[in-house]
Structure 1
């Protein structure tokens, strides 16, 4: 479904350091043992995750972009853990996700919580690097978003095991955490070496703005991943939900997703103006107003970058689906060290 058009009226942007970051990311994945064969390396490169990170973080270069690419790699390897039997085992899924959430909330020098499986070690190294130079407010907010991301997989496993099929509103509420866009937006600040004011981040306006970004990413991804979700027996995809809930034909469901996207973009545009008004009301200095504007732009970049990547990646084609089903390294990523 990668050819479906969505109206996301923001200019595409991409980091000029893409190719260097791609090469360094492949070296890193090989050194960590996440990629162990030429075949899986080729499949991974077909996903174009370095391209996705370069679109999410277009101002980042060097180590900053490499950090962003590492984060994107983790998202997809972690997500693949739950496409097999593990995704229907709530007890095992909760144990993994509870550990990951605890790691997110521990201090960088703490030894009280230690990772017990290889992929957790990989993420903790990334998370430790991501916190360098960031404020306590950023660390707390980003840890919260990571924990919500991890624990959403436990909720999804319960739904699969129980046969629960969500309605559209319930699905979007859950997927706002599971899609991973919140940590991506936080990482924009880390890779760009700026922070929007903490008070602004906690405002209703900014929270709504971020939620809209997440939902636009969800809608675009569900269009792209429909074949993958059907192959894995995953009923909770926005297209499949609309087919069941409203008895749409496929074309009608696609039209509905396009309209849902337009509505969310329109609301986002209005809220972005509200951010400027809030900055004036809070009497923020110029530097903080500029950081707020950069963060609003990061949301635009996230929506557009995800959409452009989704139309070109091999992640959701037949080869990408086959990798999810057959990857020999899935169990190794959750085995106890």
Structure 2
């Protein structure tokens, strides 16, 4: 993150007491599942410290659920990071990347709609790993929750082929188009659904469908996505995508980078203020709907979980490898990508 952009977030978030224990188990898991095959890849992956992101965004999960969530989170992040690879190392392969990503995404989308434990049709390390994780994640949840999570997970995955094609175009989207697309590519809606799985509760359907709750979730999603976009331009060695908020504002406002950054920061605080305002109305909505004590507690935990996600993701972003790695020489990019983890034949995290 550009060090002159530090956000003042008016709440704290705890961190899981099981972080170190679950992190060790998780690192063994990604190696055992063939998602990372080299020592260099493991060092690079470890520098991201995705387990800390989980420990901060799902701090109340049990030790076993922390481990499960870390495994799932790694898949989502590796898919997202792979889509930031612009194919510079193999220009001839670049035009085929959207089709390849779409093929893998279709399989990953389909898995939650099958009976848990069903082997994937398209076999690769990442599809096998997701089949395993979904069987654990869906255990004990209702069909309603599974369908809601699966639908948001599908939007996240389906957005990436479109994201790749957009990135290959010089066209910068309009701000309204960016907002809609970014809510999908950020991967936050299904991550907010996972709050319920992390503590073994479910938000009542009538609250989940309420316009206030929907806007509350949008405000949380936008806050996290905008912070991520403001962090991203500071990541040396990676292209800044045209769907980044700062890039969109700079193009659409025809302004300097500093002006676009200030406007992006203002928009972030606008969404955070909206979240803070709307969360105060949730007890009133629960009363109007006649919810009982258990249902009210579920709503409170959901809102608390959103606060943990906003603050926890921000705190992790200040420390994580993807955002704080030092500048790399031109011939030694700072990142590896999990592209080959999606192919059946070769399964290692490679450094370009």
Report the TM-score, using the length of structure 2 for normalisation.
0.88
**1:313-337 C-alpha deviation (Å, 9 max, x unpaired):** 111334799353x54x522423369
CA contact (8 A) 1:21 1:66 kept: yes
Shift of 1:159: 1.5
CA contact (8 A) 1:104 1:147 kept: no
Quick one: structure 1 residues 87 and 58, their matched pair in 2 at CA, closer, same or farther if it must change by over 3 Å?
farther
Aligned to 2:18: 17
**1:252-277 C-alpha deviation (Å, 9 max, x unpaired):** 22221221111111111222123222
**1:229-249 C-alpha deviation (Å, 9 max, x unpaired):** 873352221111222111222
If each structure's helix is expressed as a fraction of its own residues, which one has the higher value? 1
Unaligned runs of 5+ residues in structure 2 are 88-92, 347-352
Q: 2:342 aligns with which of 313, 333, 336?
A: 333
CA contact (8 A) 1:94 1:151 kept: yes
Shift of 1:109: 5.2
Matched, 1:322 2:333: yes
Quick one: structure 1 residues 305 and 32, their matched pair in 2 at CA, closer, same or farther if it must change by over 3 Å?
same
**1:203-253 C-alpha deviation (Å, 9 max, x unpaired):** 211111111111111111112211448733522211112221112222222
SS of aligned partner of 1:231 = coil
CA contact (8 A) 2:207 2:213 kept: yes
Aligned to 1:118: 125
Q: 2:110 aligns with which of 95, 102, 105?
A: 102
Report the TM-score, using the length of structure 1 for normalisation.
0.92
Aligned to 1:138: 145
Aligned to 2:66: 65
What does 1:140-289 correspond to in 2, within 5 Å?
140-228=147-235, 231-232=238-239, 234-289=241-296
Quick one: structure 1 residues 319 and 115, their matched pair in 2 at CA, closer, same or farther if it must change by over 3 Å?
farther
Unaligned runs of 5+ residues in structure 1 are none
What does 1:4-83 correspond to in 2, within 5 Å?
4-82=5-83, 83=85
Quick one: structure 1 residues 333 and 48, their matched pair in 2 at CA, closer, same or farther if it must change by over 3 Å?
same
Quick one: structure 1 residues 319 and 21, their matched pair in 2 at CA, closer, same or farther if it must change by over 3 Å?
farther
**1:276-305 C-alpha deviation (Å, 9 max, x unpaired):** 222111101101001101101111111111
Aligned to 2:86: 84
Aligned equivalents of 2:2 and 2:67: distance in 1? 27
